Structure 1
Amino acid sequence: MILIEKTGLVQGTLIQRYKRFLADVRLEDGSVATAHTTNTGSMKTCWESGDRVLLEPASNPARKLKYTWLAVERAGAWVGVETGMPNRVVAQAARQDALPGLPGLREVRTEVKYGAESSRIDVLALDGEGRTVFIEVKNATLKDGAWGLFPDAVTERGTKHLRELQAMVREGHRSAIAFFVHRTDVDRFDAAREIDPAYGAELDRAAETGVSVLPLAVRLVTRPQAGGLWSLSWELPGLLPWVRRG
C-alpha cells in the first residue's frame, strides 16, 4: 500500500554533501544545483559522491535553494534522506490502519505535548480498547552489513524519549518506539550499541518495561514519469526482526 507519493522529481548525480544543509548535484542536463538537505546528522553509510539522487523541486519559486534532496541510490538500493518523511508516513499508516505491529488505531494526532520531561510525542492515538497509544518515531539510516541501526551519533534526547515512553506504560497507557528503517538494503535491526551504549541499554529496558519496539521495514519505490521526471513512494510492508548484535 502506497502511503505517501512524491511526483515530478528530478534525477541527478551527487557531487558532495557539506555544511550539514547542502548538497551539490549534477543534473541530467549537465548543470550543477545546490539542494537543501533536511538531514543535519552525520548521514554515515548513506551516500558517496557519484550516487544517483532524487530531488524535489521547490514549490515556492522565490526559495533560494530550488531543490530538496529526498533519496539516494546505494548499490542498487534506495535510502531516504528527507527527515520529515518518517513521521508523515507513520501517521498516515496509523490513520489507514496499516501500521505494522499496531493495528486498529483511531483518533490519530501528531506532535502532542506529554511527559514530565517536556517532550512532544510524534503520534498519539487510541487503540481498539480505548487506551492511549504513544508512538515515538526515529529515522534509522545507518547500515552495518545486514543491520539497520539507530542512532548514528550519541543521542541523549533519544534516551530521554525512551524514559518517557516507559513512564507512560507505568501509568497504564501503551507506548511504542517505531524505528523507520529508511533504506531497502538491510534485513534486520538493532540499536547502534557501539556508538551509544546508553541508548542500547535504555532500549532493552524499555522493551522489558512493555514498550513495543517496532523496526519498520520501509519500501521506497521509484517510477519513471513523462518528461524525464520520477515519482517516489513510501510503503510499510511489515517489521524487520530485532536481532541484538554482540
Structure 2
Amino acid sequence: MKIINRTIKGSFVKRLNRFEGIVVIDGREELVHIPNTGRCRELLVLGACVILEIRESRTRKTPYELIMVYKGNRLISIDSQAPNKIVEEAVREGVIEDIGTYGYVKREVFYQNSRFDLFLKKTEQSGKDESCYIEVKGVTLEADEVAKFPDAPTERGARHLRELAAARQEGYRAAVIFLVQMENIRQFTPNKLMDEQFAAALTAAHDSGVEVLSFDCKVSENEIVINKKISVSL
C-alpha cells in the first residue's frame, strides 16, 4: 500500500484524547489526528519522531494524520485503516499463499451480528465450501520481537472470533489475520494479560477450525507491504 499524499516528520508532544494529539512540526505545535483508538502508550511518548500524512480537506479539523511512529530505529505504522487495505491488496494479487487465489473479493460483509473485513469466493457463484470470511486485526504492540494483540480490552474482537467459528462450523472457510504493522517480528501471541477473554476466544476459534495467521510488514515512509509469515503461539 503506497502512501499517496505528501508526508512530513514531527516530534510528538501529547495525546489529547482518543483521536487527537499535539505534534511539533517545523518548530510549531500543531493539532494532529490519530487514526488509532488503541492505547499505543509505548509508542506515543514525548519526543517520539512521527510521520504525518498531509490530507487537505475542508471537513477536517487538521490536515495532519499521524500514521507512523519511530520506536528507536524501527518504523511502526499506527494507522488502523491500513491493515485492511494491505491485506485486501495482497489477497487480490494472490500473494498470501496460506489464503490462495480467489476470483471474487468483497469488503465488509455481514455474518450474524458481525461485519467481517473480507469475504472471498472462488467465483461469484461459489458455495460455502469455496468461500472464506476473513477478519483482519492490526497489531502495533511489540516487546522483544514478539507482537501482541490487543493493547486494550476488546469485547468486539472476541465476538468477531466467536462468529468466525460459527461460520466455520456452518461450512465456510474462516480466517483471522493479525497484521503486525512493523518489520523484524519473530512471533505473534494474544495479549492474555490485557484481555483474557479475547485470548480464550482465539484459542476456541482455532480449535473449531478457524485459521489463525500472522504476518509482519515492511514499513517505509511512503509504503507498507506484507513481508513474511510469522509463527503464532496460542
Residues 1:207 and 2:197 are matched in the alignment: no
Equivalent residue for 2:194?
195
How far apart are residue 61 of structure 1 and its match? 4.7
| CA-based RMSD | 1.8
Equivalent residue for 2:131?
132
Amino acid in structure 1 at the alignment position of 2:72: A
Higher relative contact order (CA 8 A, sep 6+): 1
Question: 94-103 or 32-41: which moved more?
Answer: 94-103
Equivalent residue for 2:99?
102
Of all paired residues, the percent bearing the same amino acid is 29
> Are 1:162 and 1:203, in contact at CA under 8 Å, matched by a contact in 2?
yes
SS at match of 2:199: helix
Question: Counterparts of 2:166 and 2:43 in 1: how far apart (Å)?
Answer: 34
1:131-159: per-residue Cα shift (whole Å, max 9, x none)? 11100011111123221000112211111
Equivalent residue for 1:6?
4
Residues 1:122 and 2:120 are matched in the alignment: no
**Correspondence for 1:239 among 225, 229, 234:** 229
Amino acid in structure 1 at the alignment position of 2:230: L
SS at match of 1:153: coil
For structure 2, the residue ranges without an aligned partner over 5 or more in a row are none
SS at match of 1:4: coil
How far apart are residue 185 of structure 1 and its match? 4.9
Amino acid in structure 2 at the alignment position of 1:24: I
SS at match of 2:4: strand
How far apart are residue 199 of structure 1 and its match? 1.2
SS at match of 1:190: strand
Residues 1:36 and 2:9 are matched in the alignment: no
Question: 86-95 or 96-105: which moved more?
Answer: 96-105
Kindly tell me the number of residue pairs found equivalent between the two proteins.
Answer: 230
**Correspondence for 2:19 among 18, 21, 29:** 21
> Are 1:100 and 1:238, in contact at CA under 8 Å, matched by a contact in 2?
no
> Are 2:9 and 2:51, in contact at CA under 8 Å, matched by a contact in 1?
yes
Amino acid in structure 1 at the alignment position of 2:225: E
How far apart are residue 30 of structure 1 and its match? 1.3
Equivalent residue for 2:110?
113
Question: Counterparts of 1:9 and 1:61 in 2: how far apart (Å)?
Answer: 19
Question: Counterparts of 1:46 and 1:202 in 2: how far apart (Å)?
Answer: 27
Equivalent residue for 1:179?
178
1:26-60: per-residue Cα shift (whole Å, max 9, x none)? 11x21221110121221132222111111111231
Amino acid in structure 1 at the alignment position of 2:119: L
> Are 2:184 and 2:216, in contact at CA under 8 Å, matched by a contact in 1?
no
> Are 1:100 and 1:239, in contact at CA under 8 Å, matched by a contact in 2?
no
SS at match of 1:6: coil
